[in-house]
Structures are given as structure tokens and as C-alpha cells.
């Protein structure tokens, strides 16, 4: 089953030069896909199209079609409960002073029962091998551990597609290893992961890699990245 499919996707701000032009991509369920490109190449634009956050403000600027789980996405609301995005700075996504409370917050807003919440928190903590962080204050965690908490909070909402926006940019070597292990664990649970990066060394886990340049998206061999 295809998790994400882009068909002839193009985008431009007003009458300026196109940021993306005729982009096509298919990501299969359970794949780890890397997207790389220089600063300003269009990585963030593509990310915000894939997670729906540009649809409200820039709907008229979008040409082509986006499918998530083979469903055509036509408006921002269509993306809810489909895709979760983890950004560079986890401090901007973490609200609570307790990891368990952070994981439960989204489920509480969805009126999930306490019994189901507890089961889901236990399940996701185990999936990511971070049970030991359950009662910690996120503010005391390392950068890599904070990123895992933000990933866990999204997984608790039964979201199967995760976009990582340069999530290794602000973590040390140990943090990168923690995130890499978490990505492998997500793949083992049939989660789909899209890694948007500027550093090709962070894409060693990927099943396939795409490069954005001059508004085009092209699948490339790993040896061509250097």
C-alpha cells in the first residue's frame, strides 16, 4: 500500500519562480525515505505540502495532487490523523513537565478513555525503548531524548506516517544514535518515516533517497550524494 503519493506537484509563491515543479514521488507503507537538498532548495515547502500545513494559506498556489493512504488530500483537515511532523527544536513542541502527561495530552483532547490512554502510553514507550523516561521532566532530558518524546506523543495518536524535519540537527552523536534506533523500531512496526535533511550522513537508514534541486525531485543513488 502506498503511504504517500505525489503526482505532478508544483508550488510557487504568488508570481515568483516555482519552488517545486512537477514533483512525483511514491512512498510505500513501512518505508524510510530521505529527502535532501541545499538550503532554499524547497525541502521545507515540500514538507509543508506533505503534512497539509500550507493548504489553508496557499491552496491556490498548489498544483498537482497529494494522496495519503491512497486518499486524495484536498484540504488541510484531510491530513489530520494521517501525518505527524517532528521539527528541529523539540522544546517548541513539548508542553508538559512530565513525559507521561506529554504523551497523554493529545489523547485527552480526543476524549480517549483513561484505560486506553494508559495502554497506548505503555505500548509506545516500549516501542521506542524509552520506558525509563516515563516519569522524567522533559526539560531535564538530552536533545535526542526530547525528540523521542515528541515522536512518542505523535505515535500515541495512532499516526502511521512520521515526517522528521532535520530532527538530528541539534543533537549530539549519542542523540543521533537514539533517534536512528527509534526509526528502526518504527519501521519494524510498519510506520512510514520521511526524513528531511541537509546532511546526507543522517540518511544511512533510508530505503531510498530523493534530492531536491532547481525545483525538481529526483531519486538518487547513495554514492551520488557526496
The answer to whether the CB of 197 falls within 8 A of the CB of 39 is: no
Query: Does the active-site annotation cover 166?
Result: yes
Nearest of 68, 66, 74 to residue 1 by alpha carbon: 68
Annotated catalytic residue: which of 31, 102, 145, 166?
166
SS3 159: coil
Q: Of how many residues is the chain composed?
A: 226
Complete edge-to-edge strand list for the sheet that includes strand 62-68:
20-28, 2-11, 62-68, 71-73
Complete edge-to-edge strand list for the sheet that includes strand 192-197:
83-86, 161-165, 192-197, 32-36, 208-213, 216-220
Q: How far apart are CA 26 and CA 8, in angstroms?
A: 12
Nearest of 187, 188, 141, 142 to residue 164 by alpha carbon: 187
CA 22 from centroid of its chain's CA atoms: 22
Nearest of 141, 186, 193, 135 to residue 167 by alpha carbon: 193
Q: Which residue numbers are catalytic?
A: 166
Amino acid at each position: 500500500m502506498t503511504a504517500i503519493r505525489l503526482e505532478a506537484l508544483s508550488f510557487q509563491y504568488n508570481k515568483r519562480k516555482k519552488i517545486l515543479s512537477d514533483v512525483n514521488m511514491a512512498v510505500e507503507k513501512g518505508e524510510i525515505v530521505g529527502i535532501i537538498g541545499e538550503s532554499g532548495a524547497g525541502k521545507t515547502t515540500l514538507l509543508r505540502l506533505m503534512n497539509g500545513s500550507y493548504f489553508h494559506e496557499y491552496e491556490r498556489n498548489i498544483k498537482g495532487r497529494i494522496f495519503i493512504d491512497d486518499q486524495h488530500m484536498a484540504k488541510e483537515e484531510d491530513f489530520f490523523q494521517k501525518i505527524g511532523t517532528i521539527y528541529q527544536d523539540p522544546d517548541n513542541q513539548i508542553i508538559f513537565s512530565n513525559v507521561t502527561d506529554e504523551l497523554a495530552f493529545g489523547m485527552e483532547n480526543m476524549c480517549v478513555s483513561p484505560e486506553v490512554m494508559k495502554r497506548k502510553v505503555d505500548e509506545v514507550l516500549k516501542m521506542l525503548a524509552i520506558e525509563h523516561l516515563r516519569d522524567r521532566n522533559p526539560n531535564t532530558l538530552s536533545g535526542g531524548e526530547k525528540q523521542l518524546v515528541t515522536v512518542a506523543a505523535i505515535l500515541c495518536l495512532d499516526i502511521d506516517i512520521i515526517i522528521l524535519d532535520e530532527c538530528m540537527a541539534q543533537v549530539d552523536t549519542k542523540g543521533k544514535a537514539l533517534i536512528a534506533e527509534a526509526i528502526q523500531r518504527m519501521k519494524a512496526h510498519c510506520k512510514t518515516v520521511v526524513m528531511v535533511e541537509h546532511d546526507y550522513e543522517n540518511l544511512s537508514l533510508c530505503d531510498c533517497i530523493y534530492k531536491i534541486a532547481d525545483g525538481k525531485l529526483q531519486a538518487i543513488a547513495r554514492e551520488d550524494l557526496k
